[in-house]
Amino acid sequence: MNLASTSVTVGTGPLEFADITAVARHDAPVVLAAEALDGVAATRRIIAALAQDVHPHYGISTGFGALATTFIESDRRAQLQASLVRSHAAGSGPEVEREVVRALMLLRLSTLMTGRTGVRSVVAETYAALLNAGITPVVHEYGSLGCSGDLAPLAHCALAVMGEGRVRDAAGTLMGGGEALAAAGITPVVLAEKEGLALINGTDGMLGMLVLALADLARLLTTADIAAAMSVEALLGTDAAFAGDLQALRPQLGQAASAANLRALLAGSPLLASHAGPDDPTVQDAYSLRCAPQVHGAARDTMDHAALVAGRELASAVDNPVVTLDGRVLSNGNFHGAPVGYVLDFLAIIAADVASMSERRTDRHLDAARSKGLPPFLAHEVGVDSGLMIAQYTAAGIVSVLKRLAVPASVDSIPSSAMQEDHVSMGWAAARKLRHSIDGLGRVLAIEVMTASRSLDLRAPLVPGPATGAVRDLVRTVADGPGHDRFLSPEIEAIVELVASGAVRDAAAGVVGPLA
């Protein structure tokens, strides 16, 4: 299916995970639900009435944060909103990835369309127009404390809606926001009461990265099962520990799914059959082989919890103040990123641990004392060739980084805004490091797949099972089989791409059917 050709409708209800990845990664067009726009206009009338009140209302006729008690006269409020956005667009560092910014903008748009923020319809329409034109505001790595939401990243996006700041057009060309909007025929928005505040109070950046991470981890955990199956087979292990009745004795859902994958992947393996039966000397495989369902399964269960939190957040209208269903405008703390920040940190932990187990399996292939007859380091000419020795170093180095990235960001807090914001979530930081963790996990799994593929080749004339053999054959389209030492880095990168694209998962699933 061409995801870019399938539009995503944004209304009052929550977006689906697939909607977010379609817009963020595949440029699916955005359509605004007419009835939701009517609700946006109705709520705006409440804000307009309060703007005429002689009594101050936070975010409408007052300053912000520590300046919430300062009354602002009506003729200065447009300047107030624009000043808020300009001052909060204070990010620094490298540019954030395009898909993250698009996810962030889509999620802010989704909250605007709930009708709980009090913005005018034109604001939501302009956000949709930028997304559909492929205009991506430049958002920087640093600037968000995750409370009040992702202020600086969201402010950079709001600045673009105003026709200011820097953006990249659909072709990726860096230019001023006004220039890009003019080229696309989009009129910049002049912000009215409360609108600047409504555009920057939200967990949209960290939530967008969480949803994208869940999509990536779902693919990588299936790939981890495939890599483990290849290693069990090539290292002459046993699939007996993966039996369904044994797994049922510990009814963890993720563990059962992972074990079922391993059973399917190893079914019909001549290599396993070659040493199976009462004479099999393998009583118990090492933990990195035998306990793969327990670790990969626990990672799945953690993902399920993270998806539950993400789903609830997608159903939220995060703003401060917020317009309630009965028309009240109330301050609140729903912008605090703790729920999202915690699960982002949890996912960095599982990425590190799954990668750690994968690296241990890779190392077993290379150690002649544990590989059951394979040459040292899988070298072609032992002593002359180093084989895949240094590929394991690469995996080990990545795993070491992932362990450091697993240290939670959400336990940190640095007060800001003159102690008004005296406890912050650091959820944005948790999300940023998780993206590095996911990249590292994919690379470690790719090295295991490469290593196991060579081990399977070296078991000839015995052959692998249909599913693992299909993955080995896929690897051989980008990397040669056993032989004298050669330039290894390009082969590693090519297999990393096979993992990242889902090709490894698809090769196995093409034989055994869908995998969990």
Which residues are known catalytic residues? 58
Rounded to 10 deg, the angle between the 204-234 and 427-458 helix axes is 20
Side-chain half-sphere exposure of 126, counting CA atoms within 13 A: 25
Residue 178 in contact with residue 144, Cβ under 8 Å? no
The DSSP element (H or E) to which 168 belongs, if any, is strand 166-168
Q: Report yes or no: 209 and 217 within 8 Å, Cβ to Cβ.
A: no
Maximum CA extent, the chain: 90
**236 Rama sector, left if φ>0, alpha if ψ -120 to 50, beta otherwise:** left
Taking the C-alpha atoms of residue 423 and residue 42, their distance in angstroms, rounded to an integer, is: 34
Which position has the token pair 């309060």? 50
Give CA separation, 135 vs 112, 167, 494, in Å: 19, 7, 31
To which residue do tokens 């300062």 refer?
70
CB atoms within 10 A of CB 150: 34
Helices marked H in 194-269 — which ranges? 195-200, 204-234, 244-248, 253-266
Phi-psi bin for 188: left (phi > 0), alpha (psi -120 to 50), beta? beta
CA count, 13 A, side-chain hemisphere, 507: 24
Query: Going by DSSP bridges, is the β-strand pair 30-32/8-10 parallel, antiparallel, or unpaired?
Result: parallel
Tokens standing for 417? 């805004």
Residue 443: alpha-carbon gap to chain centroid: 16
Asked if residue 47 lies in contact with residue 197, where contact means CB atoms within 8 angstroms, the answer is: no
CA separation for the pair 223, 498 (Å, rounded):
10
Spatial separation of the C-alpha atoms in residues 475 and 402, rounded to whole Å: 25
